[in-house]
Amino acid sequence: MRWIGFLSLVALSECLVTIPLTKIKSMRESLREKDLLRDYLQRHPYSHAYKFLSGEGVTVQPMRNYLDMYYVGTISIGTPPQRFKVIFDTGAADLWVPSIYCSSPACVKHRTFDPRASSTFQITDRPIELLYGSASMTGLLGYDDVRIGDLVCKSQAFGLSWEESSISLEYAAYDGILGLAYPAFALRNTTPVFDSMWNQGLISENLFAFYLSSNEKNGSVVMFGSVNHSYYRGELQWVPVSVQGYWQVTVDSISMDGKVVDCPGSCQAIMDTGTSLVIGPTNSILNILRSISAQTTSTGEYVVSCKTISSLPDIVFTINGVAYPVPASAYIQRKRRGICYTNLDTVPWDTSNLWILGNVFLQLYFTVFDRANNRIGLAPAIA
């Protein structure tokens, strides 16, 4: 946080007069008491967010929930602006969108960036390749103005794809990805979007936060430069970042029914808004699936009887001494015809006891990503 004006406030404190005040309930408190706060936020995501977070150095970007798989918001690139739908992904660090030079099926079915139509575009001859868990892209590095809400990052590095692999990108409800991980994971000698916001003085605090609603149409937001306290209950609990690459933290233990099922001596986990599920080491996930009597389908997915959901135990992640339960209603997903699939999966690569806490976890907990202090803040999201 920047302490602008701190000395002036100290000097003025000597002449302050204390006046007793009667506390008046805020709109947030009144709505919460009547169990109307969640409904209000979902119906008025723009007006509410800007009322509480208005002012220079702060912006709020609404996002849409697509089938609980990912959350998508709109940005624009270039002059005049060309609009794109992107995932705001804390598990990646780079920004990229499809380009007019890409002929992959994924590009044909999405909006593409035309550098010829932007007066502020700067070309390079640097080829790039970005790899993800289920997809990849190759392309060229360029620079242009990137707009997120009211913020404009000047000469921002971004990728223009000329080839996009995998059917997942072809049928995705988004065009590209905007990474929010640490610069260590960014393309060499480039500055990620969030770092550009801070370096260019566009935001008042060096942090961003996510509220991920289960509502499919609206309610979800990512906020840059400040925290909206109306989106969570209680106090934020702060967790140190253990490795500054991903937003990675140390988990004390993982338990069910009061018994430790994994990480008896601690393990590592990533807070990842680009992942929909809770993902863990193969043996750990299989042990949990066996404990809830999950059965394997012909497609390799795991299902349980929908009748058992109310009796299944929470999966409790204890992080920095605080318990964060994930109930069965979150880690089991109801589908049509009475079939219930688990929202648990195994890590698709060999790793050392690493967990990925995706949107199944993050829907439950409002999350602050504090770069100034290299920490993550967690609090129960409003229900």
Positions annotated as catalytic residues are: 89, 272
Minimal CA–CA distance to 373: which of 206, 256, 141?
206
Instruction: Give residue 26's Cα distance to chain centre.
Output: 28
Q: Of how many residues is the chain composed?
A: 383
Q: Which two tokens stand for residue 118?
A: 């932007």
**Per residue in 320-359, is it b (16+ CB within 10 Å) or e — as a string?**
beeebebebebbbbeeeeeebebbbbebeeeeebbbbbbb
Radius of gyration over alpha carbons of the chain, in Å? 22
Burial 225-238 (b: 16+ CB within 10 A, else e): bbbbebbbeeebbe
Please report, for residues 93, 130, 180, 190, 214, the alpha-carbon distance to residue 185 in angstroms, rounded to integers and kept in the order given: 6, 11, 10, 10, 29
Q: Tell me which residue has tokens 């169990």.
A: 35
| DSSP reduced 3-state for 226 | coil
Which H/E stretch holds residue 162?
A: strand 151-164
Beta bridge partners, 180, equal none
